[in-house]
Every structure is written in C-alpha cells, then in structure tokens.
Amino acid sequence: MGKSVNAPDIIIYSFSYGNCQNIPQPRYGQASVLVNDIFYFFGGANSTNAFNATNVFNDVWYLKLSNSFNATAPQWYLLSSMPVACYWGSACYSGTSKLIYLIGGRMFNPNTNTSNFDISVYQFAPNTSTWTQLIPTRFNNSFKSRNEMQAIATNIYPTIYIFGGPNGDNSNKTYYNDMNRLGYTGTGMKWKTDLSHYSYPFMDYAAVFLPNYGIIIYIGGREFDGAKLNLIEMSKIQIYDANLEMWRNNRSATGEYITPRVGHSAVLAPNGDIIVFGGSKDNNGTFGINLSPLIAVLNTKTWTWSSINATNTPRLTYHSAAIYGNFMIVAFGNYKVLFNFNNSHAINLTKLLRQGNRQKFNTKIYIFDTQNYKWVTSLNQESNQLNQDNSNEKLLKIEIGVGVGGGNGLGKPIFDTF
C-alpha cells in the first residue's frame, strides 16, 4: 500500500478468537489493559535474559471480570497470536478509536532470534480480533525500539502520552527524556515529540492520569545522569499537564518514607488515592527484596505517602495491575524465592544462597480490596460497588486507559493544532 499524506501506512492481520481451558505460562514484562470487564495481556517474557524470541511470548490472553470472579480458579481465554513477540512494551485503550494500542517494547519476529523494531505501534480491534501495523504521520524515528516506559490514554483528548524510556539495543543503549504523543485527528493518527525540561532521561516509572486535574503523575523509576542510572525518590512527584501541554513543577510528597523502586504499578482508587504496589530496587538485581513498604498510598489531595501492611502480600516486579470497582487486580510478574534461613543448618551455604537468589515468574491472580486494604480471593465482597455513579465510573475508566471520548471543558484536543 502506498504512502499517504493524510493517513498512516497500515498492514492488517486478521485472527479469530479462541477459548482455552489452560493457563498461560508464567511471565513478566507483559503489556496489559482493562477494557470494561475484559483484562487483556499481551506477550511478556519468561527469562531475565530475554534477548531473543525463544524467551519472549507473542500470545494474547484475557480474563472476564465480574462479581463472581475468583482468583483461586480464574477462567483464562486465549486469543490468536500477535504479529510480534514483545515484552517491556505498553498497552492502552482509546475511547475515541475504540482500539487497543501496543506501543514500544522489545519486539522479535515470532519463533526466531531476530529482533523486529521496524514497527513501534500496533493497534488491536477487540471486536474483530484484528491487528494492524500503524505508522503515524510525523513519526519520531528515535522512538523505534523504545521500552521500559508507560503509555497513558485519557478521555479529555484523543491522545496517548508516552514519556522517556531507553531503546532496546543493548549494544548501543540510549536513554530518552522526550514526551511522545500519538493522537487521532479525524484524518489519521499523528505523532508529535517534545523534549522534556528535565535534564536526565527517565524510565521504569509508574504513571497515573488524574482526570479531575487533567494531569499525568509519574512516580518512581530511574534517571540516567550520563554515566549511570539512579533511582528516583518516591517523594519526587513529576507532573505533566495534558491540558497545557507542558510540565509542571515537581511536587514534593511528604509522609512516610517509601523506598525508591522500578517495575512497580500505580493505579487510581475510587476515592482518588494512588495505590503503588510492588517493584524492586533494581531491574537486574534484588527483585522485591528489602522494599518498604510493598504497598503504599499517595493521597492526591494532601500529597502525603502512607504505607499499607497487608498480610500475604506477594513480592512482584514488572507485573500487571488495574482497578475494577473497588479492587486492584494483579497478574503475572517477576519475584524471587525467599528461603527460610532458620532451617538452613543442614544445607550447604553456597547452595542456599544460590536458591535464595533464584528468579521466578508468576502466573497467579491476586485481588486487593482498596477500601479495607486487604488481599481477598473473590470480587464477590461487600466492599465491591461496581454500580457506581457516573462520575466515579468515569474516574476509574480514565485511569486505566479507557477513554469515553469528548472533553470536559479543559480545552481543545491537542492534535487540533498539529
């Protein structure tokens, strides 16, 4: 298909739906998005040395959430495969186009050891299970192979925001501090790139959109100072104003000290608090070890951190998390085996340390009650109020990347000015 000035180049892959009683293999670094009651998972990896497609998945799974959903016996559904194997990418849903966008990540040709960074954006139509290669007009070629970043969609503008991240070329790694925006103009998808006012590139963060303020909050992660990567203090809250198309001054959050981390998740609870879960102190080192706390809450009215000490909290990094009603649904992720040293007297110390440092990958589903701050096994709980008023439902859908189109009086869509 020839190029067009007003429309992106596209190649369409059409697949059929499938239903499978099996469960997916354990993994981490998968892209995921919740669309209404369907929680989608795209790709992922099952090795921390996932530099070829042997260790990277191109499958697509989903869960159907409802009041009867039980984490101890989830029903998994399998869709046909993606055109590429991918991990450390990001997925979000646009209410304007009614499509899911898979953006960035370390991509490979399926069943080969060949990396594939020719296309950085794929769009997926949930209703038809169709994949389309997307090459937006004005695309930023430096975005190719970008990974370890998060895409955010809102319902204020028909726009997707992607900040920072490194490239996927381990032999010549480059770190970025640009804000890339992908938007629908009515004539096609367009791309725009703005350099950040931050002096250092940024990656491995967690991002949340606050619809009441029209801002995107960036929490944790790492920045590159030109020589090495440094963890960012959780008290440093970085803010992008989607209405004004500019960065605001950083917020300094107070309250309890929260250990800096990467590979964590952040979701917006119905009461407006941001819940941060999991992560590690380094994406190549101590997965989930010595983090304090494993669950933290940021009050967005007072910008105050508080810790949550919930029993049986899993230690996960590069997992998936989304809000459904008053519950946070958690899936997959990387963790380390914790060995009980009290029973180690009869075990060789070298073997013991090797076992204690073993990487494992999760396939379980966890449910966290955001009202009572406890882990539960079922969505059939008294605190689950899925039939909320329109404003609260709207708040939840925006945070997880499910836009409903239109605006809220905050201004014109950004891409009207492209």
Task: Output the tens digit of pLDDT for each of the chain's 418 residues.
Answer: 333 333 344 444 444 444 545 889 999 999 999 999 999 999 999 886 656 567 899 999 999 999 999 999 999 999 989 999 999 999 999 888 889 999 999 998 887 778 887 788 999 999 999 999 888 888 888 787 889 999 999 876 788 999 999 987 666 788 999 999 988 766 677 888 887 666 689 999 999 999 999 999 999 999 999 888 999 999 999 999 998 888 998 899 999 999 999 999 999 999 999 999 999 986 554 455 568 899 999 999 999 999 999 999 999 999 999 999 999 999 999 886 554 444 444 344 444 344 444 568 999 999 999 999 999 999 986 544 443 333 333 333 333 332 222 233 333 333 334 4
3-state SS, 158-175, equals CEEEEEEEECCCCCCCCE
Structure tokens at 124: 């997926």
Residue 317 belongs to some domain of the structure? yes
Is residue 100 a contact partner of residue 124, using CB atoms and an 8 Å limit? Answer: yes
Domain that holds residue 246: 9-409
Residue 271 belongs to some domain of the structure? yes
Predicted local distance difference test score (pLDDT) of residue 360: 86
Predicted local distance difference test score (pLDDT) of residue 186: 65
Closest listed residue to residue 289, CA positions, set 278, 275, 300: 278
Residue 414 belongs to some domain of the structure? no
Predicted local distance difference test score (pLDDT) of residue 183: 84
Residue 415 belongs to some domain of the structure? no
Amino acid making up residue 285 = G
Host H or E run for residue 397: helix 390-399
Q: What phi and psi, each to the nearest 5 degrees, are found at residue 296?
A: -135, 150
Residue 159 belongs to some domain of the structure? yes
Q: Specify the residue for token string 């009869």.
A: 346
Residues 6+ apart with CB under 8 A from 2: none
Is residue 209 a contact partner of residue 266, using CB atoms and an 8 Å limit? Answer: no
Q: What is the CATH number of the domain that holds 259?
A: 2.120.10.80
Rounded to an integer, what is the distance from CA 226 to the centroid of its chain?
26
Structure tokens at 71: 């984490």
Closest listed residue to residue 196, CA positions, set 211, 213, 178: 178
Predicted local distance difference test score (pLDDT) of residue 400: 35
Residue 4 belongs to some domain of the structure? no
Residue 290 belongs to some domain of the structure? yes
Neighbours of 171 (CB within 10 A): 4
**What's the rounded Cα separation, in Å, for the pair 262 and 29?**
12
Kindly report the CA angle at 271 between 266 and 276, in degrees rounded to 5? Answer: 20
Residue 2 belongs to some domain of the structure? no
| DSSP assignment letter at 212 | T
The domain tally of the chain equals: 1
